[in-house]
Amino acid sequence: MRSWIIVVVSLFELSLARSRLCLDDFDLPDGSSQEYNYKIPHGDEVGYWTKIDKDASGQDRRVAFSRSFYIFGRFGESSVEGEDTTITAGLYKDDELVYKTVINCNQGSWENWILNQDGKEEKILHGTLDKACQAGENFDLIMKNDNFHLANWIFNAQPLQHEVRVFSRKTNKVRRNPITGKTETVYIDDVERPAVKILSKSGIYNATHFRFEATGSALFTRLAFGPCNAWPDNLDSECQQVREWVHSRSKANLTDETLADLKKGADANFTRGLGVFGNNIITFNPVCLSGKYFNWIQQVIHADHKIPLYLPNGDPNVNRAYCCCTDMRTGQVFGNNLERNCQLMTECVTYNPECDHAFDPEIGKEVFEDMGTEEENI
């Protein structure tokens, strides 16, 4: 029987130079590992990651907070002769599988599995890798939980699913038909979601642990978790690289026309994005002052568990985000002080945040001199 390393990290929001507002972000023991068992913060606490809210019609509605698991690692130069290189990661309720992915580098393939209602493991999705696993290269694997039946695996910016479903979604709002005068329910047309729902024996939000293991040359180096953005190490003063990395794994779905327009500016390397298979929405991409430096005010940063999903009147809280004063070199919340340096995005739009203390005049001078602007115009 395999013995898992189980780690429980104290729960507080982190703002490291490699993530924003994650609950956890840490290097694995000895700098790398081939197996890990992460106890999800509050995973066994009923009503933390899900809750009952009243919608606009006054009806109780069970809702879930989105969250992301980030695994970072690398492929070694060699592995044990005859041993395949594989990466397996999954959500578990104690020892019971909820949903996992298995990446087989030697075969260039991936498979996604659930434990079905009969208690048997069932393969529900499979495909081929877009890019081979290369010795000496880094890799990343993201698991995004969007709601009770949607969970996206993303490996090196490749979504590990491939089909969408389009439908009309019923809302709790009504309107009067101008022709008939009758009251009608409002529907939202052309809603897109991943085609395959995760209908495992235990639901996604019943998971208590996130486990991952590797064979062959694959090694894990770091884990981050929370309703947050995270990115690879060693990208201080590389804002544009961070922006491109986050974007390529986002829910953006850029058109050919938009991509052509972007070729003229700083975002020339942007990809189309992953659409409904992505991690976070495009508005959470970091904003750069230049190729190297982050803007000292980030007006849209991913919301955490503290911001409610619904407003007091029952309407969905569509502006769930923070606005934060930011370290211009690292992109982290300035001084790692959320209380002083973050406020609700809606407040930021109404009242410009006091972020003068986050502006680095030396960086400003460097950036504006590169732009050919006189220092006194800063």
pLDDT exceeds 70 at position 377: no
348-374 tens-digit pLDDT: 866 667 899 999 999 999 998 877 644
What is the rounded distance in angstroms from the CA atom of residue 367 to the CA atom of residue 363? 6
Q: What Å distances lie between residue 367 and 161, 198, 241, 288, 293, CA to CA?
A: 41, 47, 17, 11, 8
3 state SS for the chain: CCCCCEECCCCCCECCCCEECECEEEECHHHCECEEEEECCCCCCCCCCEEEEECCCCCEEEEECCEEEEEEEEECCCCCCCCCCEEEEEEEECCEEEEEEEEECCCCEEEEEEECCCCCEEEEEEEECCCCCCCCCEEEEEEEEEECCEEEEEECCEECCCCEEEEEEEEEEEEECCCCCCEEEEEEEEEEEECCCCCCCCCHHHCCEEEEEEECCEEEEEEEEECCEECCCCCCCCHHHHHHHHHHCCCCCCCHHHHHHHCCCCCCCCCCCCHHHCCCCHHHCCCECCCCCECCEEEEEECCCCCCCECCCCCECCCCEEEEEECCCCCCEHHHCHHHHEEEHHHHHHCCCCCHHHCCHHHHHHHHHHCCCCHHHC
What is the rounded distance in angstroms from the CA atom of residue 239 to the CA atom of residue 261? 21
Q: For residue 132, how far is the Cα from the chain centroid?
A: 23
Give residue 124's pLDDT band: very low, low, confident or very high (50, 70, 90).
Answer: very high
pLDDT exceeds 50 at position 241: yes
Largest CA distance in the chain: 75
pLDDT exceeds 60 at position 198: yes
Token couple for 104:
């087989």
Average pLDDT over residues 47-73: 85
pLDDT exceeds 80 at position 224: yes
Give residue 81's pLDDT band: very low, low, confident or very high (50, 70, 90).
Answer: low
Percent of the chain topping pLDDT 90? 64
- CB burial string 283-306: b at 16+ within 10 A, e below: ebbbbbbbebbbbbbbbbbbbbbe
Is the CB of residue 324 less than 8 Å from the CB of residue 342? yes
Phi-psi label, residue 284: left if phi above 0, alpha if psi -120 to 50, beta otherwise: alpha
Q: What local confidence, expressed as pLDDT, does residue 375 receive?
A: 42
Q: Give Rg (Cα) of the chain.
A: 22
Pick 308 or 210 by higher pLDDT: 210
Is the CB of residue 106 less than 8 Å from the CB of residue 85? yes
Q: What local confidence, expressed as pLDDT, does residue 151 receive?
A: 94
Prediction pTM value: 0.88
Residue 42 backbone dihedrals phi, psi, to 5 degrees: 65, 15
Q: What local confidence, expressed as pLDDT, does residue 78 receive?
A: 66
Average pLDDT over residues 33-51: 93
288-311 tens-digit pLDDT: 999 999 999 999 999 888 888 877
154-172 tens-digit pLDDT: 999 999 998 878 767 766 6
Give residue 12's pLDDT band: very low, low, confident or very high (50, 70, 90).
Answer: very low
Q: What local confidence, expressed as pLDDT, does residue 21 receive?
A: 86
Percent of the chain topping pLDDT 70? 88
Is the CB of residue 286 less than 8 Å from the CB of residue 299? no
Give residue 284's pLDDT band: very low, low, confident or very high (50, 70, 90).
Answer: very high
pLDDT exceeds 60 at position 70: yes
Mean pLDDT of the chain: 87
β-strand pairing of 164-176 with 183-194: antiparallel
Of 41-50, 124-133, 291-300, 347-356, the least confident? 347-356
Nearest-CA neighbor of 322 among 289, 291, 355, 290? 355
Q: What local confidence, expressed as pLDDT, does residue 189 receive?
A: 72
What is the rounded distance in angstroms from the CA atom of residue 89 to the CA atom of residue 101? 6
Token couple for 290:
């230049």
Average pLDDT over residues 279-290: 94
Give residue 11's pLDDT band: very low, low, confident or very high (50, 70, 90).
Answer: very low
Average pLDDT over residues 192-206: 90
Token couple for 25:
């972000």
pLDDT exceeds 90 at position 125: yes
329-346 tens-digit pLDDT: 999 999 888 889 999 988
| Amino acid identity at 188 | I
Is the CB of residue 67 less than 8 Å from the CB of residue 48? no
